[in-house]
């Protein structure tokens, strides 16, 4: 059986409000679990999360957590 790779996490912090942004960006922020400015969440580091972050990279701060 193959060894499981230790999955890393991404810590995302909402820095700017999504209230005056496009509906797609507001839904992406909500889908990531962010509701308030300065709120942080940890999500798995995978391609789908990276794609969501790329859509709102001007609103958030991202760091890798091991």
Cα-flanking dihedrals φ and ψ of residue 64, to 5°?
-85, 135
For residue range 4-53, what is the model confidence (pLDDT) as tens digits?
566 799 999 999 999 999 999 999 999 999 999 999 999 999 999 999 99
pLDDT surpassing 90 at residue 62: yes
8 Å CB contact between 11 and 62: yes
Domains assigned to the chain: 18-65 (3.30.1390)
43 near 10, Cβ under 8 Å? Answer: yes
- CA-nearest of 40, 33, 31 to 13 is 40
């Amino acid at each position: 059986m193959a060894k499981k790779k230790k999955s890393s996490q991404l810590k995302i912090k909402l820095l700017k409000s999504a209230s005056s942004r496009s509906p797609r960006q507001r839904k992406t922020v909500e889908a990531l679990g962010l509701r308030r400015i300065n709120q942080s969440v940890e999500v798995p580091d995978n391609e789908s999360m990276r794609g969501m972050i790329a859509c709102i990279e001007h609103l958030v701060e991202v760091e890798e957590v091991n």
